[in-house]
Chain A
Amino acid sequence: MNENDAVNELIATLRPDALTEDAYRRRRSADLARAIDSPRTRHNPRRSAMSQRRPLLLIAGTAAAGLAAAVIVVPHLSSGNSPRPDSSGRLAIGTSTPKTTASSTGVRTVNVRTVLLAAATVAAKEPVDAGRFWYSRVHTSQLVRVAPKEYMTKIRALIAEQEARTKELKGRPAELKAYTKDWNKRVTELKMARLPYIATRAETTETWRSLKHGTGREVRDQDVRIAFATPEDEAKWKRAGSPTLSGDDRPRTKEGAPEGIVSIDNPSLTWSNVSKLPTDKEGLKARLKSLYAQSPDKGKGLAAYMSATGWDLLTAPITPGTRAALYQVLADTASGLTSHAGVADGLGRTGVSLETTGPDDYDRPGRITYRLIFDDRTAKVLELDVIEAGTSTPLLRQTFETTGYVDKPGDLPQR
């Protein structure tokens, strides 16, 4: 090595790489959005035409109908399953950080369309990958809606009462009908009742899902944790007799196809065939419209369908091309979305959020915020949140720690 090389190498060690890397990650989204949002001085008629174009419809609040179904899940009366309040197949467990983690510092509002287009660009550059199994490790934290034992005691009493009453009312259809209506109302009230304290149950689920056959493995209920929103909530829980809130709290391994569907609105989409979706914007838009035409629930409208399905697909094993096209479709159709940069997920990773609102269980509009956080460096989903207005504890937080292709159950993705 000559002396110049030695000097160069030495000076190179003084380069503030850690600092610049950190700044790069923090500033990238907002910097890109701010620049791309601003007009270019010369020859760019396309750009200004785009910024003036009104977004197509798209239905804010409904974006997460699929998620809402997941979150508002309550134990099924008729099933013999354990009374876990969070037994939706779409969910897995989580971290012990139930509070909203968007840090107050560094979170900035950014332009939604710009963010979506930037995400499309990033997604398209991600390497194409494939494998026989799709692996995911997901932390799910949910608001505890019922204390399982107390709930089951009450619900069994209601069932016993109904059986007895139904026998008594045999041959008196009008009375039976009135009774049944009242009984349903009481069951609904029980299901909807809130506990006098705020607690979350978190667990972690790993799944290995064959992309060819109906096989795989699922390990649920790892690291089950109950967390209270505040010490006062914990005190109230103790005053209520410290009922068990965790339900099943030991990991359970199930061999065979894991639970869970790709998209509630789209029965024809499967874990195997989503990788064959179109990789160009117009093609994907056309396919989604045709899927919408077949969808069992068209009531919410095309725009809401688009974003709800988009949310579903972003967490599924789609190709980088489809992911890029999907962000472009969303950029064309998204209205009522807001976006922030520098938002932290439940694992402390920062990304860009897309938010929309919808009605709550009582049809009060705008009460529920559905938030998706994605990594602006890979355009992959970090977290999905469902947050009720006026509360800091999400109803549901689903954090995707790792997803990727592997060769067989038990393997972990390489990257």
Chain B
Amino acid sequence: MTVLSVDDPEERFTGLYDRHYRNVLGYALLRAEPAMAEDLTSETFLVAWRRLDDLPDPPLPWLLGVTRNLLRNQRVRRLRSDELVARLAALSTFAEGDVAERVANRQEALAVLAGLREQDVEAVVLASWYGLTPEEAAQVAGCSARTYNVRLHRARRRLADALRPAPPFTFFQEQA
């Protein structure tokens, strides 16, 4: 980095984009069709460029909040949780090396997610995908940190129940 000064706004912006584009798009994909999600992500970074000197640190919660506002302005309908889960199932791909057990767990988790409220799904996604603190996630979700924690806890509880290994089949037979 001998050529460019660290203060170069174009360089800062490029770095911001390279670090966070995928995160922002991933979030937009929870709400919008891929083409619109990409456009909204572009818009988000355009806003970020204009406000480059005002960005908080870390910038990701702020970026996701901008995306959320844009989604609202676009009147993108919030999905029912089963729609959201169907979309997640369609969008995600298995990493290589996934084992059968994890695939089975994933199907169970999707089934559980489909039964959750949409805000609860968002809560657990924000924590898992982006590692946001409750305060940061609450800022994105547009609620209080307390409300967010309630949603997150509720979602995790239901998912953890679903993931707990079921007792062996023979056990049930004997009980019956």
Contact = CB atoms under 8 A, between A and B. Distances in A.
Interface of A: 3-4, 6-21, 23-24, 27-28, 30-32, 34-36, 38-44, 47, 117-118, 120-122, 124-125, 279-281, 321, 324-325, 328
What 3 pairs between A and B have smallest CB-CB spacing?
A16-B91, A11-B128, A35-B49
B59 interface: no
A64 to B, nearest CB: 26
A121 B14 contact: yes
A10 B159 contact: yes
A121 to B, nearest CB: 5
A24 B41 CA distance: 10
Contacts of B49: 35-36, 38, 40
Interface in B1-57: 1-4, 8-11, 13-14, 17-18, 21-23, 25-26, 29, 34, 38, 41-42, 45-46, 48-53
Q: Give the one of A10, A39, A40, A325 with max B CB within 10 A.
A: A10
A361 to B, nearest CB: 39
Interface residues of B, number: 53
A43 to B, nearest CB: 7
A-side interface mostly: helix
Given A8-B127, A14-B92, A16-B29, A41 B50 contact: yes
Contact of A281 (B3, B48, B98): B3
Contact of B29 (A9, A20, A34, A47): A20
B160 A13 contact: no
B143 to A, nearest CB: 19
A122 B14 contact: yes
A11 B4 contact: no
B163 interface: yes
Contacts of B156: 3-4, 7
B127 to A, nearest CB: 7
Contacts of A11: 109, 124-125, 127-129, 159
B45 A31 contact: yes
23 contacts: A4-B156, A10-B106, A11-B109, A14-B88, A16-B88, A16-B92, A17-B22, A17-B93, A21-B22, A30-B42, A31-B42, A32-B14, A32-B17, A38-B46, A40-B49, A40-B53, A121-B4, A121-B11, A125-B1, A279-B3, A324-B3, A324-B4, A328-B3
